[in-house]
Amino acid sequence: MSRSQHAERHLVGRVGWLRAAVLGANDGIVSTASLIVGVAAAEAGRSGILVAGVAGLVAGAMSMAAGEYVSVSSQADAEKADLDRERSELEAAPEAELRELAGFYVARGLSQETADEVAIQLTARDALGAHARDELGISAHTTARPIQAALASAAAFSVGAAVPLLVAVVAPVSMTVVAVTGAAVISLAILGGVGAKLGGARMLTPIVRVTLWGVLAMAITAGIGRLFGAVV
């Protein structure tokens, strides 16, 4: 009897780059659109609006990349420290570690006999990998990847920030606030839907959540821009 095999694709494998990409794109849209709207509301000229937008894009992309790299590197350092500690414990007390591993499987519902056999076989194959996965919760899908997160976040921020910036380039100066706000709201709604689709979640809640906070940020900066513009 022939057995058909198929490769299963699980959404958890996308966690590493999906979170950074969605966060970066969302921040790029919201922060750049808010900056442009705030400057435009202060009745600045086109050159001032575009300079603010470009500066926001470049500074934001670099900031997102640096922030993600530092943050995820801290996670990677913690994972490495845990693995080094576990490696030392395996060398110092292999029998105790074997019993500990079997205890995890008993807690999941296996009989003691079956748990012992599973622990023995997994330890023989890759003791550190078994403890990393079943004791520490570290796996290939969720392990920290600082460079991947930094690049994904910076690239996504740049793409997101480019949307309000391009609208500001082509829109009449008098319509900049309305045009950029509308483009940002539409982009945020699309981003929320795409993020939900890639993550396997329902779309409505992420779309509303992302759009609502974006509109709030732009409304606040527009108000500040008008206030300072009036004062000046």
Strands (E), 1-126: none
Does the reported pTM lie above 0.75?
no
pLDDT per residue as tens digits for the range 203-230: 788 788 888 888 888 888 878 877 765 4
Cα–Cα distance between 231 and 42 in angstroms, integer?
9
Q: At what angle do helices 94-107 and 46-92 cross, to 10 degrees?
A: 120
- Which comes out higher in pLDDT, residue 26 or 203? 26
| Statement: residue 16 has pLDDT above 70 | no
**Side-chain half-sphere of 110: how many Cα atoms within 13 Å?**
14
| Statement: residue 142 has pLDDT above 70 | no
Cα–Cα distance between 99 and 118 in angstroms, integer?
11
pLDDT per residue as tens digits for the range 64-101: 889 888 988 888 888 889 889 989 999 999 899 999 99
The CA-to-CA distance between both ends of the chain, in Å, stands at 83
